[in-house]
Chains A and B, each alone.
Chain A
Amino acid sequence: MTPRRGLVAAKLAGVAAVLAIFAVFPLVFTNPAVTTIAVFTLLFMASATAWNGFSGYTGYIALGHAAFFGTGAYVLAIVTQHLNLTAGSSLFALVPLGGLAAAVVAVPFGLVALRTRRHTFVVITIAIFFIFQLLAFNLGITAGSSGIQVPTPNWDSATFNNPFYYVSLGIVVFATLVSWGLRRSVLGLQLLAIRDDEDRARGLGVPAGRAKLVAFVLSAFPVGMAGAVYAYFLGQIFPQFAFNPLFDLSIALMSLFGGIGTLVGPLLGGLMLESLQQYFTLQFSDGDLYLVIYGALFLAVLIWLPRGVIPTVSDWWKRRSARRLGLAGQGEAGASSPSATGGEALAPVARVSNDLAVPRQQM
């Protein structure tokens, strides 16, 4: 199977090249305004990828991940404040703690929310998110609406953003690896089976409740880490920004835009939309106009690109190359089957075999 091995090598080379570009980016573009945008973009890429690892694979649209983002942010801020930690690289050690706290919080959240299905699930995630926001406003430990200050490191202003950039890049890589590993694992197959037909998946022996909960907790972890970096980077946090309903919407839009349920889609969506958003904010400094543009873009994606950029483009590409090879019939079949969000005609057949494979591997 040399061509296949060649393909793997080419893919690895591609991943390495993209990573290298991201790694040297802040060394080439040293303007702090640019690197600030880059840090936010990376944080959202990581969050969207993590969200997709649950919502994209299971089809359960969660609109409450801002609760994990805020939890991570507040854990970093509160621990720093109460232990009187000084700013510096060592504060980044608290980032995994933020992720861990988010994951711990995700267990009861998931246990309650995942008792419901589909639309009730969406609504209950919104409700639980608001509970978190209200807690942040009302509890003594979060200092309510006056927020918490996080000490700012006294790094050289020219390269101030770089440590944040590389830590964020690390979170993106981590989230992507988790998402990639999930897709290749038995758990990933179980999640896809749940997305396609939860009752049948249960009937075939998929431990649906456990699979969903594990995926939910896994997806909370990187979001919590991103929140912790966010709090440190901004230097202060307030309940309405750490627990922001727009955050929920943004990461969902990024995944939808790139291609929900695909590995690269949320990364691409985060890269394009967040950098665009930050640019808009700098350019217009008018939040309301930005809301209008953002909402309109969101609607346009939902109506014209409901499956996202990656599946649409890859289908188009496959159909094109098939036509070029003159294999019209086979090409059509090849084009519609593998897309992650569901080629209608062929995918169910392929997925039946997935469903069947799962319980067998379980035993």
Chain B
Amino acid sequence: MIDGILTGGVYALMAAGLTLIFGVMDIINVAQGVLVVLGAYLSYALSVHFGIDLFLGLLITVPALFALGVFVQWAFLQRLGERERTAMSILATYAVAIIIEGVLGLVFGADYVQLSAWYVLRSFHVLGFYLPYIYVFGFLLAAALLGGLYLMLYRTRFGRSVRASLQDRSAARLVGIDVDRVSAITFGIGVAVTADGGMVFGATNSFNPNTGYDLISRLLTIVILGGLGSIGGALGAAVVMLVIEDVVAVVWSPLWAPFVFFAVLVVVLSLKPTGLFGHAATRAQ
């Protein structure tokens, strides 16, 4: 239950990146799951080969993934035609995802690994449970980054451009916002948060190059439930879903927990196609 809320915070961060990308660019980044795994592997490589602490390593992996995100946007996504942009973006980022998965497989092999550090191994006692420190540290970091994201979106000039592009791309362009530049940076930020998400994910779960599929389907579920493009919705949905999954795992069976996770999505969408927190029509379909 508690670790449901704490993991929910980390998922919220990863989902926030996804929903931000969608809101600004109308792009569903299916590669987000694999990018989280990539972030985890980068942290793994840094800590195993260079002995760099997981949290310190973020200083390297976050900029690296930001650069990768800007590159992917510039090299592939910007070149997609306007027609059926969203559908095409799903296919294009899916292709990016399998390339990254293949590269990870070539470099690291298919064995499951897990990140390790003192705060992963040691745990403390709370309310009758033992909880590894990493959950708390990861949650705090996710909360801090989400706060930073919020400040950036609502308190800076750049954030205003992002929100303007979120509301209406062409109108934003008309008032002189360089939408392509905003898109590239947004995509970079959306991807960069996976470095942090990946580190915490890799420390709390064992992973291999295939883990991305499971992860992306969860993230998409969260984002759709929260209403596409709504950051607050993503936060709420992430915590709700992770707590539900945790409760099911304890009360019923861990085998069926992911099943309930997807079943909730199906039920919610059949009752309310725009998602739990979604507006009636965020944008014309």
Contact = CB atoms under 8 A, between A and B. Distances in A.
B259 A127 contact: no
A119 interface: yes
Contacts of B262: 127-128, 130-131, 134
A3 interface: no
B273 A302 contact: no
Contacts of B80: 302-303, 306
B267 to A, nearest CB: 9
Interface string B220-243: 110010001000000000000000
Q: Categorize the interface residue count of chain B.
A: 35 or more
Contact of B84 (A59, A63, A124, A294): A59
Nearest to A249: B94
A302 B269 contact: no
Interface stretch (A91-99, A110-118, A229-237, A325-333): A110-118
A291 B213 CA distance: 14
A122 B209 CA distance: 23
Interface string B143-180: 00000000000000000000000000000000000000
B17 interface: no
B187 to A, nearest CB: 16
Contacts of A249: 91, 94, 98
A295 interface: yes
A295 B98 CA distance: 6
Interface stretch (A23-31, A82-90, A214-222, A282-290): A282-290
B114 interface: no
Given A295-B95, A295-B98, A115 B273 contact: yes
Contacts of B209: 288
B23 interface: no
Residue of A63, A117, A249, A291 contacting most chain B CB atoms (<10 Å): A291
Contact of B102 (A63, A138, A295, A299): A295
B86 A118 contact: yes
> What DSSP secondary structure best describes chain B's contact surface?
helix
Nearest to B227: A120
Given A117-B285, A342-B83, A291 B263 contact: no
A119 B90 contact: yes
A61 B99 contact: no
B76 interface: yes
Interface string B67-110: 00000000010011101101110111011111101111110000
B220 A63 contact: no
A137 B254 CA distance: 13
Given A127-B262, A135-B259, A119 B98 contact: no
B83 A291 contact: no
A118 B217 contact: no
A262 to B, nearest CB: 16
B255 interface: yes
B54 interface: no
B112 interface: no
A127 B281 CA distance: 22
Contacts of A135: 259
A158 B217 CA distance: 44
Nearest to A129: B217
B266 A122 contact: no
A135 B266 CA distance: 15
Contact of A291 (B92, B102, B214): B102
Contact of B91 (A294, A296, A298): A298
Interface string A228-263: 000000000000000001100100110010000000
A107 interface: no
B285 A246 contact: no
B202 to A, nearest CB: 20
Contacts of B87: 59, 61, 118-119, 122
B24 to A, nearest CB: 14
B57 to A, nearest CB: 24
Given A117-B285, A120-B228, A288-B102, A299 B259 contact: no
A61 B94 CA distance: 13
A335 interface: no
Residue of A124, A130, A249, A253 contacting most chain B CB atoms (<10 Å): A130
A291 B101 contact: yes
A331 B106 CA distance: 50
Nearest to A61: B87
B285 to A, nearest CB: 5
Contact of A306 (B22, B81, B97, B224): B81
Residue of B98, B209, B262, B265 contacting most chain A CB atoms (<10 Å): B98
Contacts of B258: 130, 134
Given A122-B90, A123-B28, A302-B80, A131 B285 contact: no
Contacts of B275: 120
Given A124-B269, A135-B259, A289 B102 contact: yes
B103 A292 contact: yes
A127 B76 contact: no
Interface of B: 22, 28, 76, 79-81, 83-84, 86-88, 90-92, 94-99, 101-106, 209, 213-214, 217, 220-221, 224, 228, 255-256, 258-259, 262-263, 265-266, 269-270, 273, 275, 285
6 contacts: A120-B228, A122-B90, A123-B220, A291-B101, A299-B92, A302-B92
Q: 8 smallest A-B Cβ distances: which pairs?
A: A291-B102, A288-B105, A295-B99, A292-B102, A298-B95, A295-B98, A119-B86, A295-B95
